[in-house]
Amino acid sequence: MINDKLPKIWYGGDYNPEQWGPEEWSEDDRMFKLAGIDVATINVFAWALLQPDEETYDFSTLDATMDRLYNNGVYVCLGTSTAAHPAWMAKKYPDVTRVDVQGRKRKFGGRHNSCPNSPTYRKYSALIAGKLAERYKDHPALLIWHVSNEYGGYCYCDNCAKAFRVWLKKRYNTIENLNKAWNTRFWGHTFYEWDEVVQPSELSEEWDGNRTNFQGISLDYRRFMSDSLLECYKLEHDEIRKHTPNIPITTNLMGTYPELDYFKWGKEMDVVSWDNYPSLDTPISFTAMSHDLMRGLRSGQPFMLMEQTPSQQNWQAYNSLKRPGVMRLWSYQAVARGADTVMFFQLRRSAGACEKYHGAVIEHVGHEHTRVFRECAELGRELQQLSDKLIDARTQAKVAIVYDWENRWATELSSGPTVALKYVDEVHKYYDALFNLNIEADMVSVEEDFSKYDLVIAPVMYMVKPGFAKKAENFVSKGGTFITTFFSGIVNENDIVTLGGYPGELRSLLGIWAEEIDALFPDQKNRIVMKQPWGELQGEYDCGLLCDLIHSEGAEVLAEYGDDFYQGMPVLTKNQFGSGQAYYVASSPEKSFLQGFLSNLCAEKGIKPLVSAGEGVESARRVKNGNAYLFLLNHNASPAEVQIGEAEQKDLLTNETVKGTVTVPARGVMILESAYQS
C-alpha cells in the first residue's frame, strides 16, 4: 500500500486554507468529518507565503495547518509549493521565467512559468523542498510528498539552448554523429560546432504546433524538455529523500498529456498519481484507457487518483455538471482500474481568480446542504466500508497494448502522409474494441516484458526503437500473437527511414512488404473484403485514413481491399512465425471490424470476457490474496442486466450474494467478490 498509516482507499483532495481564515477553517474541519475526508493535499502553490524574500522562510502558517488537520483526523499529502515561483524571484532573477516557442520572454504571472533549466529555479526549488522535508519529516500527519504540480510546457531561452547542446553531446558524443542522426545534409543543415545548434522554435524550424522542417531536431527537443522537467522533479525528490527515506514521493501526471514521456517519469515516482478530467462527451473507454495507461507506467502497480472534480471544471469550453451519480460512478471507475485513492480538486471552492467556478466538495454557499456534498459524503461512507480489501489489488490482463510517447511525437511530427493521423486515436480504437468486448487490457511501454501476455497490440508502430523488433519476434516465436498496423516500421529512433522497404525491421516478422501508402480524404473510404468468413468476421467493412499497399512475402492474406486501383491487394494478413502469429492491419477499420477481429483472436487464445453485458456497461477486475473483485459500472441512465456466471459472488456495497444475471442500477456500481480463477 502507499503508506500503511492509512490502510484504506484514501479520500480527500486539494485544500488551500491560505485562501481563507479561521472561521472557514473551523467549518472545514467539521465538514471534512461529515464527508469522510481523511487526506488533504496542501501547500501546492504556497511558495510565496513560505518564502517572502530570498533569505526568509516562514513556516508558521503551514505548521498550524499540519497540526490542525491531524488533530481533526485528516492526514496530509504535502506539496513542495514549487509549481509557481514567487514574484520577487522573477523580479530579481529574470532567468527564472520562460521564453515561448515564438521567442517571447515571459513576465511573472500564471503558473508553470519557471524555466526548467534556470539555475535560479533549480537552486531555490531544491532548497525549499529540503527545508520542508527536514521540518516535517517526523510529523504524524505526513503521508506522502507531492512535488510541484502538473509538470508541463516547454522553454526556448538561452539557458535551455545551452543545456540542449550539453544533452546532445551526451546522446551523440560527436558533432559528426549528430549530423548523421539528423540527416543534416538535407537543406544544407550541416553543423560544424555545437554552438551552431539552435532550438527548433518558430524562429527556426517549427510552426503551427507539430509542424517542423527537421523531425530529428524537433523530436530530440521534446526528449530534452521532458528530461529537463524530470530533472527538476528529481532535484526536489532527492532533497526530500535525504530527510524522509520512507515517505513515498509523487507528482501528478495528466493521462495522455503529449509533452512528457511518462514512462520515463514513472520510473522515478514511488507511486504514480494523475488528474482525471474527462468532459461530458469523452468516451467512457477513453477514460478507462487513461487509467490503464497510468497503471502501466509502473508495470501494473496501483496508482493515485490525485484530482477529479466533484461537479464541474472551469477550463473546458463547456463545463457541464456531473449528473447525479456520475461522480460516484467515475470514482469507482478509477478504483476498478487500479486507483488506491479517490481525491478531488478542490475541497473548498476558491472565491477568486480562474478556478472560482471549478467544482468543490464545499461550495460557495459554505454549508453541507448541497447535492454535491451529499454525494461526496455518501461515497466517503462507502470507501470506509470497503476498508483495506482493495488496497494494492492488481489487474491480471492477458492482452497488452503498446503505447510510446516518443513514437507519438515522431508520428505527429511527420510531414505526411496525412494531417488526420492521431496516434492516441488509433491506439484508442483497439482499446475501445476490447473494452466493449469486456476483455481486460494493460497499457504498456516498449520496454515491458511481453512474456506475461498472450496477445500484444502495437498500433501505428511508426518508430521502431533498437531491440523492439527482436523482442517482438521472440514473443511471437514462443507462441504469442502480435498485431500491428499501417504506418508501422517506417523509421528508427532518430526518425530516419529504415531503407529496404516498409515495414523495415518488422518485415520478417510480418511476412509482408508495403510498397506505397495512400492517404484518403476525410470523406473517402475503402473496403476490407474478407476472403472467407472467419469467426465473427465475414463480408466487408469500411476502412479509411491511410491504406498501405502491401505484398505478401509468406503471410496468409485474410482480406483484400475492395476499391480503387489497389482493389484485390492485401489489407489483413497473418504470418506464422515460430509457434505464434503476427497480424498486419493495413488500414484504419471501422469499429465492428476491430471488435470481430479481436474477438476472434481472444477466443483462439482462450482469453474470456469478464462478463456478458450490453453497451454502456463497463467491467474491470482487480485481484488480491486469491480473491477477485469484479467491478460492474453502468454508465447508462437506465438499469442494465449483466450476466456474471453461475458462481456465487458477494456484493461488497450491499453484502448481498448474487449469481447468474444481475441488474446494475442506472449510473450504478457493483463490486463483486469471489475466489480468483485465472
Question: What distances in angstroms separate CA 446 from CA 297, 406, 450, 468, 471, one per listed residue?
Answer: 11, 10, 9, 7, 9
Element (H, E) at 306: strand 303-307
Element (H, E) at 253: strand 252-253
Cα–Cα distance measured from residue 370 to residue 289, given in angstroms and rounded to the nearest whole number: 32
Is omega for the bond preceding 503 within 30 degrees of 0, making it cis? yes
Sheet holding 75-79, edge to edge: 249-250, 142-146, 75-79, 39-42, 10-14, 339-344, 303-307, 273-275, 252-253
The three-class DSSP label of residue 90 is: helix
Q: Is 304 exposed, middle or buried (0-12, 13-18, 19+ CB in 10 A)?
A: buried
Residue 159: all three cell numbers together: 539557458
Of 236, 307, 375, 440, the catalytic one is 307
Cα–Cα distance measured from residue 470 to residue 289, given in angstroms and rounded to the nearest whole number: 27
Task: For residue 398, give the DSSP letter.
Answer: S
Q: DSSP labels for 175-222?
A: HHHHHHHHTTTGGG---SSGGG----STTTTEETTTEES-HHHHHHHH
Cβ-contact 413, 215 below 8 angstroms: yes
Residue 511's region, left for phi above 0, alpha for psi from -120 to 50, else beta, is: left
Question: What distances in angstroms separate CA 190 from CA 172, 177, 180, 616, one per listed residue?
Answer: 15, 11, 9, 55
**Beta-sheet pairing, 10-14 with 39-42:** parallel
Cβ-contact 446, 420 below 8 angstroms: no
Cα–Cα distance measured from residue 337 to residue 131, given in angstroms and rounded to the nearest whole number: 36
Question: What distances in angstroms separate CA 423 from CA 412, 427, 461, 603, one per listed residue?
Answer: 7, 6, 9, 27
Cα–Cα distance measured from residue 605 to residue 476, given in angstroms and rounded to the nearest whole number: 13
Name the phi and psi angles at 389, rounded to 5. Answer: -55, -40
Nearest CA to 484 out of 561, 565, 555, 396 is that of: 555
Amino acid occupying residue 556: E
Cα–Cα distance measured from residue 228 to residue 543, given in angstroms and rounded to the nearest whole number: 41
- Is 134 among the catalytic positions? no
In a 13 Å sphere around the CA of 609, the CA atoms on its Cβ side amount to 22
Cβ-contact 460, 483 below 8 angstroms: no
Buried b (16+ CB within 10 A) or exposed e, 410-420: bbbbbeebbee
In angstroms, how far is CA 144 from the centroid of its own chain? 21
Cα–Cα distance measured from residue 495 to residue 504, given in angstroms and rounded to the nearest whole number: 13
3-state SS string for 405-442: HHHHHHHHHCCCCCCCCCHHHHHHHHHHHHHHCCCCCE
- Is 556 among the catalytic positions? no
**Dihedral sign from CA coordinates of 280, 285, 291, 294:** negative
Cβ-contact 8, 386 below 8 angstroms: yes
List the catalytic residues.
150, 307
